[in-house]
Amino acid sequence: MNTGNLVSLLAIVVLGSTPVLAASAGPRFYGDPPDDTHPWAVHDGNRPQPKTVVPGTFSTADQAGKPPSDAIVLFDGTDLARWQTDKGKPAPWRIVDGVMQVEPGSGGIQTRDSFGDCQLHIEWAAPAKVEGDSQGRGNSGVFLLGQVEIQILDSYQNVTYADGHAGAYYGVNPPMALPVRPPGEFQVYDIVFRRPVYKDGKALDPGYVTVFVNGVLVQDHTPLEGPGGHMGRSRVGPLPDKGPISLQDHGNPMRFRNIWCRALPPRVCEGGTDGALPPEIARAKRHEIAAAIRQDAATLRNPDQPLPELLRLFESLVYESDPPTLEKAEAMATAYVQTVKSLPADRLATKRDEVRNLRDVFKYLARFKRIPDAFAPKTAVEQLIQDQGWDRKRN
C-alpha cells in the first residue's frame, strides 16, 4: 500500500483528538500486528513514547561531568544530606573541595533512600601516595541493595586476587580488563544493576550486573550469585527488592564525587510490557490496549464525519477480536460507503484518496485475519474504486 497517504489520513483522524495511548500520531495498519507474545504491533503508533531525558556531560579525570536530567543526585559536592551510617546517624565522612572523603575507622555510609534496579554512576580516587599493596591499597567498595559489592581498589600496577580487582563483582567474577588510571586520578564507574526476581521460591530472573570502568566494559551482564563476599562462596537466592547504596570504609582515605542514579523500568517478568511476554500477559495487555482504543473512538463520534471513529474501531480489532465492535464497525463502514456512493460526481471525486486508503486498511485487516476476506464493506469499497477508475496509477 502507499503508506504516505495512509499516514496522512490517519494523522487527520488522530491529531484532532487526544490519543489515550501514544504521545504522537504514528502510523496505523502498518507493521506486523500484535501476536501471542507481543502486545504491540511493529512500529505501533499506539505504543507509548519514551520519556525525554536531557543528557548530562561526560567526566574527565580532572573534571566531574553533569548527570542526566532524570537522575537522582546522591552527591554533588555540597553536602552529605542523602547519606547516613548503618545506624541512621549523620554520615561522618568529610567534604574537602567538593569531594567526599572517607574518614578511616569511622565506618561505611549508605544512602538514606532505598533503590532497586538502577543505573548508578560513581567516581572515586585512591590516594595519590601509594601505601600498601594488594587489598591493602586504595580499597573500598560500592554495594547495591547494601549487599552486592562492586569492588573499588587501586588496581594500577597492583597484583591481587582476580575477583578482588577494581570492577570485580567481589568474590564472584573478575573484571574482564583493568582500564584504571594511576592513583590520585578519578576513576569513573557506570553500573547497570538488575536484582533477582523470584516468585514462589523460583527464580523468574536471576538478576544481572553490568559495569563500565572509565568507559570500558568490565562486567558484561554478569548473572548474580548472591551478594558476593570475602573468602566465603556466595549463594544464589532472593535479595531484597530495594536497599541502600553503600560505600565501604576499608581504612583508606578514598575520595568520591559525582554520584547519581536512575531508576530502571520493570522487566517482562515483573510486569513490563516491552519485549516478548508470556502469552497470558500479552493477551491481557492487548485487551487493555483494545479497550483504550475503543474508549478513544467514542470521543471521535461525529455523524457528519464518521471515518475517524470508524477507523479507531477497526484499529481496536488489531489487538483483540470483539464481535460487538466488529458488528458496529461493519455497519458504520457499510453506511459510509453508501453515503459516498450517493454523492454528486464532483464531490465523489474528492473522496478518491480517502476511499482508497480505507481499502488499504481493509486489505491489512483481511491479511492478518482481523476481518473475513469476503467482508462486505471491503468488497463494496473495492467495487466503488473499480467503478470510478480509481485503481489506476495515482496522478
What is the per-residue pLDDT across 22-34, written as a single tens digit (0 to 9) for each?
A: 444 577 899 999 9
Secondary structure class of 223 (helix, strand, coil): strand
Q: What is the pLDDT of residue 18?
A: 36
The predicted pLDDT at position 393 comes to 62
What is the pairing mode between strands 246-247 and 109-111?
antiparallel
Residue 378: the pLDDT is 96
What pLDDT does 49 receive?
87
What per-residue confidence (pLDDT) applies to 259?
Answer: 98
In the chain, the DSSP E strands lie at 72-75, 83-84, 94-96, 99-101, 109-111, 118-125, 139-144, 148-153, 187-194, 197-199, 202-205, 208-213, 216-223, 246-247, 255-263
Q: What pLDDT score was predicted for residue 64?
A: 92
Architecture of domain 72-267: Sandwich (2.60)
| Tens-place pLDDT, residues 122-146 | 999 999 988 888 998 999 999 999 9
Tell me how far apart the alpha carbons of residues 172 and 154 are, in angstroms, rounded to a whole number. Answer: 19
Q: What pLDDT, on a 0 to 100 scale, did the predictor assign at position 60? A: 87
CA distance 153 to 125: 9
**Euclidean distance between CA atoms 327 and 19, whole angstroms:** 23
- With a cut of 70, list the residues of the chain below it in pLDDT: 1-25, 393-395
DSSP 112: S
Question: Distance between CA atoms of 67 and 262, rounded to whole angstroms?
Answer: 10
Q: Among the residues of the chain, which ranges form H helices?
A: 3-15, 279-299, 307-317, 323-341, 345-349, 352-367, 376-388
Model pLDDT, residue 154: 96
Supply the pLDDT for residue 357. Answer: 93
Q: What are the Cα distances from residue 301, in Å, to 61, 158, 238, 295, 332?
A: 61, 73, 51, 11, 11
- Read off the pTM: 0.84
Instruction: Kindly list the domain boundaries of the chain, sorted by start residue.
Output: 3-50+273-388, 72-267
Q: For the sheet containing 83-84, what is the strand order?
A: 83-84, 109-111, 246-247, 139-144, 148-153
CA angle, corner 252, sides to 244 and 119, nearest 5?
30
